[in-house]
Structure 1
Amino acid sequence: MPPDEARPGTLRTLIDFAQPLGTGGRLRLGFGEPSRVLVARTADEVRPVLDAVEALAREGRWCVGYLRYEAAAAFDRAFAVHAADGPLAWFGVHDEALPWPEATDNDAPASLDWQLGLSRADFDSRMQAIHRAISNGELYQLNYTATLHADFHGEPLALFMALRQAQPDGYAAFIDAGEEQLLSVSPELFFDWQGERILTRPMKGTAPRGATPAEDEALAQRLRTVPKERAENVMIVDLIRNDLSRVAKPFSVRVPRLFHTEALPTVWQMTSDVEALVREGTTLADAFAALFPCGSITGAPKVSAMRMIRELEPEARGVYCGAVGVVQPGGHAIFNVPIRTVALRGAQARCGIGSGITADARADAEWEEWRHKRAFLDRAGRASGPPFDLLETLALVDGELRDAPAHLARMAIAAAHFERPWNQASVASCLDDLKARHATGMWRVRLLLDAQGTPRAEAFAMEAPPARVLLQLATRPFGEAHSEFTRFKTTRRAHYEALAPTESGAFDTLLWNRDGEITECTRGNIALLLDGRWVTPPLRCGLLGGIGRANRLRSGQLAEAVVRVDDLPRVQALAFVNSLRGWIDADFAPFQK
């Protein structure tokens, strides 16, 4: 809403920032209506706005705001950018800070249907253009991005809270600038400048989180050691060292930490620290002139990379890849690189996504990295969905629970992922009580864990599994293959139920992902006899790591292999596999032959 329409007492700005150079803890504050607003709409106005911000902060005010990526032209006319789609710089000035709201009365945000305005074919074509430029010696690396768009009808603050829950820690900021609202939950520090010390922490290198602790650690280790990721990181470290030297005291630039992996909810990210002592007389505008835009979101060399970015990207980046931050009373400045940022304008939402392209980058891997990076948006969407419990389904036969330790271990991992309390003794006691009431017969047990960590168990009479079943092949890709609600078993199963069998006599549906890779069935895993050996899809294809599947991988009865839909005519036999029912031989339903 415009400033003159703001409701009295309404929080217009929230910041929740880490303090790398502070005393620990977080800078978590709210701000009401600004006493004044500083706006730059032309390149010539950007430096005066930053000078005013610095002066007002030294007088005791709080200044919170942002610079668009397109503000780069204010610091170097050689930086090629599109025409800006809003203010180049915007800062609200506040006489006092307010406490962070303990609770809000906002409704849960509506789920947004994000659409990427870039086809895979166009992505591949631009990757080829970047590789040609690298081969021709025009640049070493380029950060290529695209924009996700969605219709938005809801309360911006509620969406921010959901995003912050999905992407905690880091540098979160909600700024209602009237004509637009910025919802940044970026994990990347641009710079933290206090006194004479300035710290930058560029983020370069990404890997997905694993479905198990062992896989998670293996992915982190791989990120730290893969030459491509290390090269990408060190190129930007060198660029920022050079940028920082423009305002640093001689010989004070150093790199105290290199190739550090940070665990975020949906990805591993690799960061490095570059710090320096700032020369006397350096202003906030000088610091931006030396460092902006951050090299991690341009590439190297910066001028050449930005020129190619303007050629390849059809629209302005906006606040995405710019800077969002706060200058505290006295002058301590903390700014993030808004790489996980949603911009709202009216009924439209936009969010950028991208990655650094080097000579050895592969289109498939980069496209996959984009998918992992945008997962925080999908994770935020769970706040708008119905409540859910964690779920394990076990077979209880004559008083004995099949594979109980493995099921409890898997539920404990899910509880950690969804940040739910886990008490092994309480869960075991719950199951013991159920076993005592069902000492004979065959039962299907549903073990549930709610958001407070309270377990409950239910038992349902179960018949012996059939000797053979029919499977129906899904008629469309399983869009949620890589969702956390696929990797972890919960009661939120609408994405599975939407692909339940539609043909009479079909036992279950065989699913496949957007890349045409077989994943699993809606209620169990799949085993396929292909080229003389039994295989099952690897977890990276997007599926639940079933207990029955794990047992057979361990015994050597199954091996992991990618199987595509196109490979199905060569499959010699099929089997449905899970812990509850065991191994059931399967065929494709006759209507698919």
Structure 2
Amino acid sequence: MDTCIDFTLPQGASGARLRQRFGAARAVWAAHAPGEVRAVLDAAEDAARAGAWCVGFVRYEAAAAFEPALATHAADGPLAWFAVYDEALPWEEGSTGDAAHVAWRSSLQREDFNQAMARIHEAIADGVFYQVNYTAPLHGELLQGSAEALFAALLRAQPGGYAACIDTGDEQILSVSPELFFDWDGRRILARPMKGTAPRGATPEEDEALAERLRSAPKERAENVMVVDLLRNDLSRIAEPFSVQVPRLFHTQALPSVWQMTSDVQARTRPGTRLADVFAALFPCGSVTGAPKVAAMRMIQALEPHPRGVYCGALGVLRPAGVGRMHATFNVPIRTLALRGTQAVCGIGSGITSGADAEGEWREWQHKRAFVERASQPFELLETLALEDGAWRHLPEHLQRLQDAARHFSYPWSAQVGQCLDELAAAHPAGLWRVRLQLDAQGRARAEAFACAPTLEPVRLQLAAAALEDRWTQGEFVRYKTSRRAHYEAFAPQDPAVFDTVLFNARGEITEGTRGNVAALLDGRWITPPPACGLLPGVGRAIALREGRVREGMLRLEDLPRVQAWAFVNSLRGWLAAELELPR
């Protein structure tokens, strides 16, 4: 597997990227003991100043190489590793073979998470530290596909940051981190710590409201400011006097599954500063340790039983920048996987302050893991349409929804979509047909038609036996219709007499059915749950709202005995009278 990088250029033109791949390395330097780390960094810097490209990483466990008081576990690989290349090659978009499929399991149970949170809060109350970054690994098995295919899927799931794929021979590091550790041209240095997270909204209005809430939330702002203060202090160790500045605070950045808050801290470095000096001042980044750093890292070592590895360390590129000069850009390797054979590890975590609560942090972890869940199993975008006597029902609405999903998941849109629908309509000029339209990650479209019999009303509905987990109701595989439907299929009716199952979220709010939306007549008016409850807003639902037949309204489990009538709604079946059986 070729090493490659896809980095934002943080001090260049807006949107500019450094996208390169590398062939065979001229040399590889690795440090296996703390005393060897500085020498590896010096060698990489000297090679870049002499005109070479160097790509590599520093593990979180290398912290003691710069400050012996920084506690970590023993490393499970080289503390620092850099490969040297005589040239950078053009980025290539190519076939990666079979799509990757990874099965993940969490190493941390909710009860253990709650206990760790209690320990952290007790230490904060005792004045040991005021913030700590707590993490745990997800463990996965690569069931299908290659490391290249998995990296390509990760890039689609988390585009636009500081991505790199490194193959050391023993392991592959696949990083799609959105967080800049530092960008240094030998004179000016920029750090961009990332602290503060919120989920993306189900509608543009809700999305903007969540972003604004993140920007203004006291807990999130306090967490961000703590890290900014730590980075200011760290940078001052290598900065010219009075040059440390914070030109931007509380900037919200939209990622596919979450909003993140960043701030900029910059400075001018003192003449003679070396790359190893930069690491000695900043490493590990305060956003993944907490503050004060020494005390926070002691707590991390006590709470986390295994080494973090490259996750939460630093990964980056040194490139030539003129005679005797070089430019270094490193990410903080969050949203990063380590792959050894078929075994994968991906860390997930968050910063804990006195204002954090276990329930909120646990939800944040679920949001953060969405990127790896999206990348770990191939899926297609999906629309179900009605074709009646050769004419499409609500075609513009379906195409718009499919196009919105393609934009969200970075799937290419092609003319194939219209072509395959035209061909299908021409082949089925009479009768009612259920059409399944799918679009894959390469922009290939296909459509199939199935005979559709009339539905006898009222249809029978059942209530789900348990709540749909937050990671689904608050995730993108509910907001957008795809072929990844295991979370729906788990609740599908087993009794052929039952038409569909009515779902609800962990807050006890009704959401939707497994096959369409629902509406209820409550207190004399028809209501349908809003997208914020965690549901796919169907085309049939949109039509009913537009016609004024129904309005959005919250419907909770305790309201069900008062519901006077039910309806099932989707584009294929229309508005169907329904009956819901309540559990006794």
Distance in 2 separating the partners of 1:346 and 1:35: 25
Residues 288, 530 of structure 1: CA spacing in aligned structure 2 closer, same or farther, 3 A cutoff?
Answer: farther
Task: Determine if contact 1:390/1:415 at 8 Å carries over to the other structure.
Answer: no
Partner of 1:267: 258
Query: Higher mean Cα deviation, 84-93 or 531-540?
Result: 531-540
- Secondary structure of the structure 2 residue equivalent to 1:235: helix
Among 441, 447, 450, the alignment partner of 2:439 is 450
Give the drift of 1:574.
Answer: 6.4
Give the drift of 1:473.
Answer: 3.1
- Secondary structure of the structure 2 residue equivalent to 1:112: strand
Among 150, 164, 182, the alignment partner of 2:140 is 150
Partner of 1:134: 124
Query: Higher mean Cα deviation, 87-96 or 196-205?
Result: 87-96
Query: Higher mean Cα deviation, 488-497 or 368-377?
Result: 488-497
Distance in 2 separating the partners of 1:400 and 1:52: 65
Question: Is structure 2 residue 109 aligned with structure 1 residue 119?
Answer: yes
- Secondary structure of the structure 1 residue equivalent to 2:502: strand
Partner of 2:354: 359
Partner of 1:582: 575
Same amino acid, percent of matched pairs:
55
Give the drift of 1:32.
Answer: 2.4
Question: Is structure 2 residue 267 aligned with structure 1 residue 276?
Answer: yes
Task: Determine if contact 1:182/1:344 at 8 Å carries over to the other structure.
Answer: yes
Question: Is structure 2 residue 501 aligned with structure 1 residue 509?
Answer: yes
Partner of 2:365: 370
Give the drift of 1:517.
Answer: 6.1
Residues 326, 417 of structure 1: CA spacing in aligned structure 2 closer, same or farther, 3 A cutoff?
Answer: same
Matches within 5 A, 1:200-215: 200-215=191-206
Task: Determine if contact 1:107/1:155 at 8 Å carries over to the other structure.
Answer: yes
Matches within 5 A, 1:332-347: 332-347=327-342
Partner of 2:512: 520
Distance in 2 separating the partners of 1:574 and 1:444: 29
Residue type matched to 2:347 in 1?
G
Distance in 2 separating the partners of 1:569 and 1:539: 19
- Secondary structure of the structure 1 residue equivalent to 2:376: helix
Distance in 1 separating the partners of 2:381 and 2:343: 33
Task: Determine if contact 2:258/2:368 at 8 Å carries over to the other structure.
Answer: yes
Give the drift of 1:578.
Answer: 1.4
Residues 113, 421 of structure 1: CA spacing in aligned structure 2 closer, same or farther, 3 A cutoff?
Answer: closer
Partner of 2:178: 187
Residues 428, 205 of structure 1: CA spacing in aligned structure 2 closer, same or farther, 3 A cutoff?
Answer: farther
Q: Which runs of 5+ in 1 are unaligned?
A: 1-10
**1:425-453, Cα deviation, whole Å (9 max, x unpaired):** x979979x969x979x9x56647463548
Distance in 2 separating the partners of 1:271 and 1:544: 30
Matches within 5 A, 1:545-556: 545-549=537-541
Task: Determine if contact 1:427/1:455 at 8 Å carries over to the other structure.
Answer: no
Partner of 1:379: 374
Give the drift of 1:476.
Answer: 8.4
**1:127-178, Cα deviation, whole Å (9 max, x unpaired):** 1221222222222211111110012355222211221121112111111112
Aligned length: 571
Distance in 1 separating the partners of 2:49 and 2:413: 48
Query: Higher mean Cα deviation, 199-208 or 409-418?
Result: 409-418
- Secondary structure of the structure 2 residue equivalent to 1:63: strand
Distance in 1 separating the partners of 2:333 and 2:230: 19
Question: Is structure 2 residue 528 aligned with structure 1 residue 539?
Answer: no
Partner of 2:48: 57
Give the drift of 1:509.
Answer: 2.2
Among 28, 44, 54, the alignment partner of 1:37 is 28
Q: Normalization by structure 1: what TM-score? A: 0.86
Residue type matched to 1:364 in 2?
E
Among 98, 102, 115, the alignment partner of 1:107 is 98
Distance in 2 separating the partners of 1:29 and 1:453: 27
Partner of 2:281: 290
Distance in 2 separating the partners of 1:400 and 1:339: 45
Task: Determine if contact 1:473/1:588 at 8 Å carries over to the other structure.
Answer: no
Residue type matched to 2:580 in 1?
D
Residue type matched to 1:362 in 2?
D
Distance in 2 separating the partners of 1:358 and 1:267: 20
Residue type matched to 2:575 in 1?
G
- Secondary structure of the structure 1 residue equivalent to 2:54: strand
Task: Determine if contact 1:14/1:174 at 8 Å carries over to the other structure.
Answer: yes
- Secondary structure of the structure 2 residue equivalent to 1:282: coil
Task: Determine if contact 2:367/2:475 at 8 Å carries over to the other structure.
Answer: no
Distance in 1 separating the partners of 2:459 and 2:60: 60
Distance in 1 separating the partners of 2:233 and 2:262: 17
Partner of 1:6: none
Task: Determine if contact 2:103/2:376 at 8 Å carries over to the other structure.
Answer: no
Distance in 1 separating the partners of 2:41 and 2:402: 51
Residue type matched to 2:578 in 1?
D
Residues 453, 262 of structure 1: CA spacing in aligned structure 2 closer, same or farther, 3 A cutoff?
Answer: farther
- Secondary structure of the structure 2 residue equivalent to 1:114: strand
Give the drift of 1:518.
Answer: 4.8
Residue type matched to 1:134 in 2?
I
Q: Normalization by structure 2: what TM-score? A: 0.87
Partner of 1:8: none
Give the drift of 1:401.
Answer: 4.5
Task: Determine if contact 1:541/1:562 at 8 Å carries over to the other structure.
Answer: no
Partner of 1:95: 86
Residue type matched to 2:338 in 1?
A
Residue type matched to 1:59 in 2?
A
Question: Is structure 2 residue 239 aligned with structure 1 residue 248?
Answer: yes
Task: Determine if contact 1:535/1:560 at 8 Å carries over to the other structure.
Answer: yes
Residues 241, 587 of structure 1: CA spacing in aligned structure 2 closer, same or farther, 3 A cutoff?
Answer: same
Task: Determine if contact 1:113/1:151 at 8 Å carries over to the other structure.
Answer: yes
Distance in 2 separating the partners of 1:410 and 1:366: 32
Matches within 5 A, 1:339-488: 339-382=334-377, 384-385=378-379, 388-393=380-385, 401=393, 407=398, 409-420=400-411, 443=432, 446=435, 448=437, 450-451=439-440, 452=443, 463=454, 465-471=456-462, 473-474=464-465, 480-488=472-480
The CA RMSD measured in Å over matched residues stands at: 3.5
Task: Determine if contact 1:209/1:265 at 8 Å carries over to the other structure.
Answer: yes
**1:323-343, Cα deviation, whole Å (9 max, x unpaired):** 001111232101000001100
Query: Higher mean Cα deviation, 367-376 or 263-272?
Result: 263-272
Query: Higher mean Cα deviation, 579-588 or 544-553?
Result: 544-553
Distance in 1 separating the partners of 2:576 and 2:389: 16
Residues 485, 219 of structure 1: CA spacing in aligned structure 2 closer, same or farther, 3 A cutoff?
Answer: same
Give the drift of 1:530.
Answer: 8.1
Distance in 2 separating the partners of 1:378 and 1:524: 24
Question: Is structure 2 residue 74 aligned with structure 1 residue 74?
Answer: no
- Secondary structure of the structure 2 residue equivalent to 1:51: helix
Distance in 1 separating the partners of 2:450 and 2:97: 38
Partner of 2:326: 331
Query: Higher mean Cα deviation, 262-271 or 368-377?
Result: 262-271
Partner of 1:4: none
